[in-house]
Amino acid sequence: MNLDAFYFLAREFEKHGFHLWMTGGSARDYLLKRSFQELDCATDALPSEMLTFLYDANDRFAHYGHVSVYHLDRKFDITTLRVESAYLDARHPGQLSFIRDPERDVRRRDFTMNALYINPQGDVLDFVGGVADLEKKIIRMIGEPNLRFQEDPLRILRAIRFKVTLGFSYEPTLKQAMQDNLGFIERLNEQKVIQEIKKIPFIDRPLGREELYAFGLMRWGDML
């Protein structure tokens, strides 16, 4: 995977006194040597600070700490490090605060394998054992699984998608929590559920349907 665009953009952040890390699905897939197109990044720069040098950035969601920008035909989704309060609607936190410390930011993320931060030198910041879980091919929740699924039930479907597409296994307490909290999926906007399910690539959809059926989610499995 050619990361020239990431290296260039990271240097721009460094010139202005900030850090840029590849994180989320991009960091995970990079370490798994899987291809990816869009780059998920985290930074210690505030949205207002990024916009002083990312002149063509899309700042529609800057109040959430998120901007997006294209460079060398690659899309970058860049989010300011943050902490979040309790979730009020089973999807979004009631309040968020921007921070400068990735070790605090990691607590809001879902699974350990999605909570790695890679700098332009290739150094990996791993505060939750994500590298070990990648090596073991395990999907593990950051924090107490029941609470995290009740915060955002869409994480149940994300776990299913990752199992299907990556060939990973559920950590036992994670799987039990998924089963115990299936009812919370009904709280979600139906379109959000459909969007998540449709992220399963076409070639993997028979496996996805089988996995959804295994959890009794026939209604959603029938959509694949």
Handedness of CA 184, 194, 197, 63 (dihedral sign): negative
Given pLDDT bands bounded at 50, 70 and 90, which one contains residue 132?
very high
The 10s digit of each residue's pLDDT in 48-62 is 999 999 989 999 999
The 10s digit of each residue's pLDDT in 61-101 is 999 999 999 988 889 999 999 997 555 555 555 578 999 99
Select from 205, 173, 30, 191 the least CA-distant residue to 113: 30
Burial 164-202 (b: 16+ CB within 10 A, else e): bbbebebbeebbebbeebeebbeebeeeebeebbeebee
Domain 4-132 has CATH 3.30.460.10: yes
pLDDT of amino acid 73: 83
Cα–Cα distance, 52 to 126 (Å, whole number): 30
Task: Tell the burial category of 27 from Cβ atoms under 10 Å away from its Cβ (0-12, 13-18, 19+).
Answer: buried
Beta-strand relationship, 82-84 and 96-98:
antiparallel
Cα–Cα distance, 165 to 122 (Å, whole number): 25
- Please, are residues 127 and 37 in contact by the beta-carbon 8 Å criterion? no
- Please, are residues 196 and 91 in contact by the beta-carbon 8 Å criterion? no
Mean pLDDT score, 104-118? 96
Mean pLDDT score, 110-134? 97
Cα–Cα distance, 166 to 146 (Å, whole number): 23
Q: What is the pTM of this model?
A: 0.92
pLDDT of amino acid 89: 53
- Please, are residues 80 and 45 in contact by the beta-carbon 8 Å criterion? yes
The 10s digit of each residue's pLDDT in 161-179 is 999 999 999 999 999 999 9
Q: Give percent of the chain with pLDDT exceeding 90.
A: 87
Beta-strand relationship, 116-118 and 169-170:
unpaired
pLDDT of amino acid 75: 93
> Would you kindly state where each structural domain of the chain is located, as residue ranges?
4-132, 137-221
pLDDT of amino acid 1: 67
Neighbours of 143 (CB within 10 A): 13
Residue 55 C-beta-side C-alpha neighbours within 13 Å: 0
Angle between helices 172-180 and 154-166 (to 10 degrees): 140
Q: In the CATH hierarchy, which fold is given to the domain comprising 137-221?
A: Hydrophobic Seed Protein (1.10.110)
pLDDT of amino acid 207: 96
37 vs 211 pLDDT, higher one: 211
pLDDT of amino acid 71: 84
- Please, are residues 105 and 42 in contact by the beta-carbon 8 Å criterion? yes
